[in-house]
Amino acid sequence: MEDEGRRVQERRRRREYLLSISERLFAEQGFFKTTMSQIAKESEFALATIYRFFRSKEELYFTLIEEKMEMLINNVHEAVAKVTSSIEKIKALVSAQMTFFENHPNFFKIFMAEKIDLPEGERNTLRERIGRKYSSYLNSISEIIRKGIRRGELKRMDPKETSYTLAGMLNTFTLIWLSHPGKGSLAARVNTLVELFLRGTQQ
């Protein structure tokens, strides 16, 4: 049993390492230019070994995005659950997402590029696989806003449209930060973004 446990841990470690190498290459080169042979060379794994973990480049790419999306959503939900008011929850959400993307900048590049870097068939497949996760994430933002309106903390407005606005602001701030390396921490911009958002939404 102990040997079996070690084998499982080693397999998990190697899989995570492969995903890490792939994340960097996909972010630097895009989906089309990155090859499984490059991933094998960078990871120092045999190509056959990689195919034992992932049946294709597409599966590797989709798995990477799905698992990182799940990590992001879990981080945000945990942060939001620790506070009570809608204003605090919005700040916790913004802080959790900006901290996550600061720690995983390569994933953010892939996340933003997936709509343009894949052929139509793969785009549709990816949209189906992660669409429900991202929709659920946006719905959780909408629910925070909806409760804030009911409590009188936020102005009356369309919760869904407002959640899209906040998501767009988060992505824009992250893109600007990535475009200007050496300009400090992304997480340090949390208060600025929250203040801008609340100027138009706080009661």
- Given a cut of 80, whether residue 77 has pLDDT beyond it is yes
What pLDDT sits at residue 121? 63
pLDDT band at 115 (very low <50, low <70, confident <90, very high): low
Which 8-state DSSP code applies to residue 116? T
Measured N-to-C along each axis, helices 105-113 and 86-103 cross at an angle, to the nearest 10 degrees, of 100
- Tell whether the model's pLDDT for residue 61 goes beyond 60: yes
Cα→Cα distances 124→61, 128, 131, 191, Å: 14, 6, 10, 36
Confidence of residue 79 (pLDDT cuts 50, 70, 90): very high
Which tokens hold the place of 32? 């089309």
- Going from the C-alpha of 199 to that of each of 35, 143, 155, 203, the distances in angstroms are 46, 19, 10, 9
pLDDT score for 50: 95
What does each C-alpha distance from 83 to 26, 92, 191, 193 come to in angstroms? Answer: 36, 8, 16, 19
Q: Residue 202 pLDDT > 60, yes or no?
A: yes
pLDDT category of residue 124 using cuts at 50, 70 and 90? low
- pTM for the complete prediction? 0.86
Q: Specify whether 151 is located in the same domain as 115.
A: yes
Q: Please indicate, yes or no, whether residues 108 and 30 belong to a single structural domain of this protein.
A: no
Residues 41 and 127 grouped into a single domain: no
Name the one residue in this structure whose structure tokens are 């989906």.
31
Is 21 in the same domain as 73?
no
- In this prediction, residue 133 carries a pLDDT of 79
Number of domains in the chain: 2
Mean residue pLDDT across the chain? 89
Residues 16 and 63 in one domain: no
Identity (one letter) of the amino acid at 56?
S
Q: Which residues constitute the domain of residue 125?
A: 57-201
CATH code, domain with 10: 1.10.10.60
pLDDT for 120 equals 63
Residues 195 and 149 placed together within one structural domain of the fold: yes
Whether the predicted pLDDT of 20 surpasses 70: yes
Tokens at 83, concatenated: 């506070």
pLDDT in tens, 136-154: 889 999 999 999 999 999 9
